[in-house]
Structures are given as C-alpha cells and as structure tokens.
C-alpha cells in the first residue's frame, strides 16, 4: 500500500470537528471519490471526531490518502487518551449511548466505512481507524 498524502490535525473542540469535515472532504476529492462516497466518509469522520472531543477529551486525527494497486482510498485514524470504552460490543450497538446522543456515532460510522476498527483500553484511550475505498 502506498501512502500518497499523510497529515495530522488536532481534534480538541467543536470547531475542530468542522475542520475535520473539511479536511476529510479534501482528501476524498483528491482520491477521486464521487459525491455520495465523499459524503459518507465525511459524515463518518464527523461522528468519530465528535466522540473524540466529547468522550475522549480531545485527541488527534491522522488523514491518509492511500493507494492499493489501482484503488485509492482515504484512511482516518482518531486517537485519544481519554477514559476508553469499557464495553466495545455495547458501544458499537445501535441506539446505545453513554451520553445524550442518539447512539448512532460508532455504529453509524462503521456502516458508512469499508473498513472499521476500534481499539480501546480503559484508562488509556481509544484508537478508531476507518477507511473508505473508491
């Protein structure tokens, strides 16, 4: 896999979530995504970025445009050092929310991604990786 573009940005507050949407859109356009695929990965990124701010106490996003053979994709890695997720299976189920949201953040973002992975250690933090391919 070739990484064509590799950037990092802070995800600390609500304004950063808007910036995340904008930067992910730029990567998706650069990777040649159509409008629907752009919208899907930007929406997924928005959900995870909000989790990073609201539950993870802020963190970082690594944005990569990648190429595998003839296929191009966008891979996003959100990292925080927050309290972590105690029950991942529960957190990934539709409608479950530890906050006041609709509980669609993780599960919805997973549905909008081609690849989705969560690693979380209680007390240490959470890493969410998602990717969408053209």
50 is a site residue for other proteins (CB under 8 A): yes
Query: How far, CA to CA in Å, does 71 sit from each of 74, 83, 92, 114, 117?
Result: 10, 36, 28, 13, 20
40 is a site residue for other proteins (CB under 8 A): yes
Q: Write phi, then psi, for 108 (nearest 5 degrees).
A: -65, -45
Structure tokens at 42: 């930007």
Q: Which is nearer to other proteins, 19 or 67 (CB)?
A: 19
- Interacting residue with other proteins among 46, 52, 79, 126 (CB under 8 A): 46
Beta carbon of residue 44, minimum distance to other proteins (angstroms, whole number): 8
Quickly tell me which residue has 């990934």 as its tokens: 92
Which residue, 3, 5, 44, is CA-closest to 21?
A: 44
- Interacting residue with other proteins among 26, 39, 98, 129 (CB under 8 A): 39
Binding site for other proteins (CB under 8 A): 14-15, 17-18, 21-22, 25, 35-36, 38-40, 42-43, 46-47, 50, 94, 101-102, 104-105, 107-108, 111-112
């Amino acid at each position: 896999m070739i990484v064509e573009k590799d950037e990092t940005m802070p995800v600390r507050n609500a304004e950063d979530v808007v910036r995340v949407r904008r930067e992910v859109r730029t990567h998706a356009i650069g990777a040649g995504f159509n409008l629907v695929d752009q919208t899907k990965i930007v929406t997924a990124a928005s959900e995870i970025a909000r989790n990073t701010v609201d539950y993870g106490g802020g963190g970082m996003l690594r944005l990569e445009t990648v190429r595998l053979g003839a296929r191009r994709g966008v891979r996003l890695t959100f990292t925080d050092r927050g309290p972590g997720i105690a029950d991942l299976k529960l957190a990934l189920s539709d409608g479950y929310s530890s906050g006041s949201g609709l509980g669609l953040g993780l599960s919805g973002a997973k549905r909008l991604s081609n690849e989705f992975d969560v690693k979380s250690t209680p007390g240490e933090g959470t890493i969410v990786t998602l990717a969408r391919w053209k």
